[in-house]
Structure formats: structure tokens, C-alpha cells
Amino acid sequence: MYGSPSYARLAPLLALVVIGIVLPPLVPQYFLSLGNTLMMYAILAVGLDLLLGWAGQFAFAHIAFYGVGVYGTVLLQSKLGIPFIPGVLIAAALAGLIAFLIAVAAIRLHSVYLALATFAFAESAQWVFNSWEGLTGGADGLRIAPPSVLGWTTGTDARAFPVIAIILALVIGATMYLTRSRLGRSLCAVRDSEHAAAVSGIDVFRTRIWAFVISGTYAGVAGGTFALFQSFVNPEAFGFSQIVLVLSMVVVGGLGTLPGPLIGAVLLGLLPEIMRTAMRGLFVWQELVYGLILILSMMFMPRGIWGLIAARGGRSK
Amino acid sequence: MLEVQTISASYGSVRALEAVSLQVDAGGIVCLLGANGAGKSTTLNCISGVVPSARGRIRCDGRDITGWAIERIVALGIVQVPEGRELFPALSVEENLVLGTWLHRRQRNHGPEFERVYEYFPRLKERRKQAAGFLSGGEQQMLMIGRALMARPKYLLLDEPSLGLSPLLVQQLFEIIARMHRDGIAILLVEQNAKVALSVSEYGYILENGEVRLHGRAKALSEDPEVHAAYLGA
């Protein structure tokens, strides 16, 4: 966790890119669609973990920044003709900017008060997505035209898969550097003790604001990947159940680690698929099952699945 | 010179400090004694900027630092070692120390600072790769002081360094504190263990209910019958 990540640790990222490129012709479309969804959730969960697990900020506005990323990328393309790569960068920067404003407004709040304030923001953002019909199409939703990435038109799961794999690899790589950087350590410092961080000369407010901005930007990028493989978006995708889902991924996987949210995203992302196929009649109980998993994992593995694996392996992180 | 001039502070409607004045000379060593709730930690927190003072001024080397942001105060060379176990348990000893260099972060090599800390506390060098949360109480206290030393303090504010340590460890720790003072760091020491604090200090202040009750040379205080009865035991 100190210094640059070794090349050995970057190897899995290369593997991810290779898999992203060779897999699409070999497997059925259903699995590619599932893979795209899981990779998108992975980006969302890693971004939330930076704020929740690394910086210790109990905030729930993540899904709103994700929404800004989705609508931003889609609308920049459809209204202004901006291609995908600059579009997703602008949308992610916009999500980061809004996260900055929320952070500045909520910076004096802690724990449950911060949770409530950010949750209120997420709810109002969903309301904006619903009501700004001229832009978002309101509850009727918005069609997404297949974006083109450097001349490579996505839009189908098979064509989006390699692009999303590359984006996920970049995001994980960036996170490896970030969590080993000075900023990464200062996030942990603020989480562990604001008092000790402050008297070590760390500007606690500025560090907390950075955590919000970075986390919001990640959510914006995740939103951009949504536009690559989905053809339709409506505000329902940004509701309370999504907040709970991404939160569960981070907590069940393991807070404050990089493998944790990745594991969580895969396991909890697969859950609705398993329930849909194996237990048709039980699908309506989905929310309840998430809640149950969250409670049980808090009780029996407070440091998440990765915490358990790391403890078994005798490693701290 | 670090000067605290008639500062007052409260938590809500509870008055914690009332017109407290004290002074630490450059390179001096001063202790601040008193019972629980007398306002010792609050005084330190006012100096380091963690708690705002309602009235009075705080000056450092001729500059008025009242109301400054915490990190500016640290940059000036006033570094606090908070009470208890305020460290970063998930990070390694080395990472905890690196965080102490935050203000000198543009400087690439922190070798000399590390060496100085490891010279005072060789135990930390042995355990430098371990997570801070797994250290013993004494080692955690050493790490907190070490982290403060990494910021190159001119004035080191120590809040109850003896808390929860065995008598033997307390003795060892105070020998190191005396050494840091000999090496030129000014020290303001808050302690409940009056005996050991007075033994290393040049000057002492005794707080009672948020006010300075007595002050004087450490030797004179330790011989004062009133102090003896109230703080040093029979």
C-alpha cells in the first residue's frame, strides 16, 4: 500500500483487457450482457468504496452522480453531437463538480446526519430526472443511440464488452495508484481520526471534499458505461433500491479494500439473475434478500468477504 | 516563545477555560497539571487550533496565531500529540510516520526525519511494516510522538503521554521526552502524573476548574506543601 503498485499487480488488468477483446465472439449474448452490467457495477462500487471505506464518509448520494453520468453522456451525444470519449469525460467532470458542491454544503456534517443530507440530495436528483421532461424525457425515459468510440460503434452487448473492459481496467489501475498515493493515505488518516489527521497538518476539510469529488467522478464514469450497452434509460434506474444495492456490494465485499467492492459487485450483481432463473416466484422478494444479506454480512463478517479472505491468508489488506 | 494570554473557551454553555495564561520559552519544557476536567487538554487543543478560544490571544514567536487554521499552526512548528490512541490503525507504522510529514510533502526524501524518529524509538523501526493497530499501548504512544516529530516541531504539545502505560514504560518515555528537550525541542506537557511530569520540567502550571491555580518553577512546585497534598500524594 505504499509506493507504486508492482507490475505483477497490474498484470490482472492486462488480462481483463485481453478477456474483454477475445471473449465476445465465444460466448452467448446473455453472458456478455451480464458481464457488462457487472463491470459497470464494479466501477460504481469501487467509487463508492473510496468515499465510504477509504475516507470513512457515510454518504449516499452516489447514485445521483451515476445518474448525472448517464444523462450527461447520452445528452451530450444526442443534443450536441459530442462523441463518447469527450462526452463521458465531461459528464464525469460534471458529476465531480456537483459532488464538490454537495461536499462543500455538507462538510460540517458527520455520520448519520451526513447520510441523511446526501440521501436527501439523491432523492431530489431523482426527482429532477423525473421532472425535467424536456431534457430527460421524464418517467417515459430516453432512447440511447449507440455511441461510437473512436469509430467503433457500440450499442450491442458484444461490441460494448471490450470497451467497458478497458474502462474498468483503467479505473482499477487508477484506483491502485490513488490508494497508494499521498492522497490515499490522507483519506485513511481522516477516516481513522480527524483529530490526529488535523494535528499532522492534513487539511481535513479539503481531504474530505476530494473524497467526494473523486467518488462522484467514478460514478459519472460508471454512468457513461451504461450508455454503451443499454438502449434506454429512465429515472427508475436511480432510486433507493439502487443505492442499497451498491452499498451492499461494498459492505459485503469488504470496505476500504480494492478487491472487496469488485467481489461484492460480482456476487450481488449476479443475485437478481440467479433469482430470476432459479427462483421465479421469489423475484419479488429481491429487496428483502439484499437486506438480509447486508444484515448477515454485518453480523458475521464485518470486514466483508475480502476481509475474511485476507485474514485467512494472513494479510492485512 | 509560545504565549497564551488570558484565553477562555467553552463547550456549549459549559465553561472549560477562564482567562488561562501561560508561556513556553523556545527550547523550554513546561508542564500543565491538574485533575480530570481541569481544562488541561482544552488548553492544548486551543493552542493547536482544534478548539476555538472565545477570548484572549495566542502568540508564537511574536506572531498572533489566534484563530488560525490547524494546518497553518502545524506549519509554524506547533505540533500536538493528542491524548489516547489517536493514530491510523489500518496503516503501517511507516505510513503513519509519512503522514506526519504532510506539510513537507513536496520534499521527496524524508530519510533524516525517519532516522531521527527511529533513533528516539528503535522499537518503531523493528515494527515499521506492521499495522499501527497491532502495536502495544506503549508502542502506539511512541508512534504518535514519532508522527509529530516527522513534522519537525519547534513546540511539541504532549497530551497525557503516560496514559495507560506501565510505570517502567512511563519512566522510559519520560527519559526520551527529556532527551527531545535537550535536543532543542520546546515541550508543553499535559499530565495527570504530576510527579514524573515535574521531574523533567523546568516550569509548571496547575489548573483547577479551568483557571490557573498556581504556577512556578518545577522544583518549587514539587516542594510546595499544597501541591504535595493535592497532586503528589503523601
Structural domain spans, chain A? 7-235, 239-317
For B66-80, letters b (16+ CB in 10 Å) and e give bebebbebbbbbbbb
Q: Please give the pLDDT value at position A316.
A: 45
User: What pLDDT, on a 0 to 100 scale, did the predictor assign at position A317?
Assistant: 43
Chain B closest-CA separation from residue A312 CA (Å): 17
A-chain CB neighbours of B90 within 8 Å are 188, 192, 256, 316-317
> What is the three-class DSSP state of B81?
strand
Strand, coil or helix: what is B94? helix
d(CA A97, CA B204): 51
Measured at the CA of B72, the angle between CA B176 and CA B124, to 5 degrees, comes to 30
The grid coordinates listed for A19 are 478477456
d(CA A127, CA A129): 5
Answer yes or no: are the C-beta atoms of A261 and A46 closer than 8 Å.
yes
- CA A117 to chain CA centroid, nearest Å: 20
- From the list A188, A201, A316, the residue facing B88 with the nearest CB is A188
Phi first, then psi: give them for residue B77, nearest 5 degrees: 110, 10
DSSP-based three-state secondary structure for B69: coil
- Pick from A199, A204, A206 the residue to mutate for testing the B interface (most B CBs within 10 Å): A199
DSSP code of B163?
A: T
Would you call A299 exposed, middle or buried from its count of C-beta atoms within 10 A (0-12, 13-18, 19+)?
A: exposed
Shortest distance between the Cα of A11 and any Cα of chain B, in A, equals 25
pTM attached to this predicted model: 0.81
Q: Is A295 exposed, middle or buried (0-12, 13-18, 19+ CB in 10 A)?
A: exposed
Residues in chain A with CB shorter than 8 Å from the CB of B147 are: 196, 200
Closest-CA distance, B9 to chain A, in angstroms, reads: 18
d(CA B10, CA B25): 27
Tens digit of pLDDT for each residue in B120-165? Answer: 999 999 999 999 999 998 999 999 999 999 999 999 999 999 988 9
Tens-digit pLDDT profile for chain A (317 aa)?
456 667 778 888 999 999 998 888 899 988 999 999 999 999 999 999 999 999 999 888 999 999 999 999 999 998 898 999 999 999 999 999 999 999 998 888 888 888 888 989 988 999 998 889 888 888 888 888 888 888 788 878 888 999 999 999 999 999 999 998 989 999 999 999 899 999 888 999 999 999 999 999 999 999 999 999 998 898 888 988 888 889 999 999 999 999 999 999 999 988 878 777 776 666 667 777 888 888 888 888 888 889 888 888 755 44
Question: Is A147 within 8 Å of A83 (Cβ atoms)?
Answer: yes
Expressed in percent and rounded to 5, the helix, strand and coil fractions of chain A are 80, 5, 20
Whole-number Å distance between alpha carbons of A279 and A273:
10
**Is the Cβ pair B75, A201 closer than 8 Å?**
yes
Look at residues B26, B39, B11, B14 and name the one whose alpha carbon lies nearest to residue B190: B39
